[in-house]
Structure 1
Amino acid sequence: MGEMVTITREEYSKLLEAAEDLADIEAYDRARRDPGAAIPADSVRRMVDGESPLRVFRDLRGLTQMQLAERASVNRVQIADIEAGRKTGSVQTLHKLAEALEISIDDLV
């Protein structure tokens, strides 16, 4: 059994807070090393306001629906239906679109 140390609840709370701060700093450092993963605030707001993530990421990449359809080997009408919320798209379709947009499929759902 390991050695034990007794500390006050206040000290324990400060250690937990410091550990959370360290985790935040590490996450910030990771994000700074990989700026490609950042999404502009106005794009995030559009998604929060209910706009289709597919449309937002397509706009970020400067692509028309037809250009994305060609890159992803997906019918343009499928893209229009997903962006309009008429359909959700199959896993296979979303995977193709995510790859073409260079994002994770999780970013689209």
Structure 2
Amino acid sequence: MGRIQRIEIEGKAYVLLSEEDYEDLIDGLEASAVLAEIAAGQEVWPLDIVEARANGENPVRVFRTYRKMTVSDLAMAAGISQPYLSEIESGKKTGSVDVLKRIAVALNVDLDDIVV
């Protein structure tokens, strides 16, 4: 960290630091907040999940595979037919909001995680 100056303007104390030091400070605070969320039990995704999503793979299939569920397992848990789930995973159908919510619950993910 570079030089920090303490200054007073109109009777109020301020700290002056470089923009680079300020950005480092903010990055550290954000990293601490993320680590606190992880320590509190928030799930984080492994790199292969992040890469699969970034490469445009179907999120329902990605998370189903990650959760080690078969198409039949997930369809049953979500209360939909296996062919319908297969069509959602292949992109032939998008699925209603209700169905996507049930899939998200069955996969234990947020709805935002599976909406393409």
Say whether the fold is shared (TM-score over 0.5).
yes
Q: What is the CA-CA distance between 1:19 and the residue it aligns to?
A: 2.9
**Which structure's residues are more often strand, by fraction?**
2
CA distance in 1, matches of 2:13, 2:84: 61
Point out the structure with max Rg over C-alpha: 2
Q: Please, which of 7, 13, 18 is the counterpart of residue 5 of structure 1?
A: 13
Aligned length: 105
Unaligned runs of 5+ in 1: none
Q: Please, which of 34, 37, 42 is the counterpart of residue 41 of structure 2?
A: 34
The one-letter amino acid paired with 1:24 is A
1:93 aligns with 2:99: yes
Could you list the per-position Cα deviations for residues 29-75 of structure 1 after superposition, in whole angstroms to 9, with x for gaps in the alignment? 3223325x111211221121111110011111111111111111012
**Identity of aligned pairs, percent?**
30
What is the TM-score normalised by the length of structure 2? 0.77
| Superposition map of 1:1-109 within 5 A | 4-8=12-16, 11=17, 13=19, 14-34=21-41, 37-109=43-115
**Which structure's residues are more often helix, by fraction?**
1
Unaligned runs of 5+ in 2: 1-10
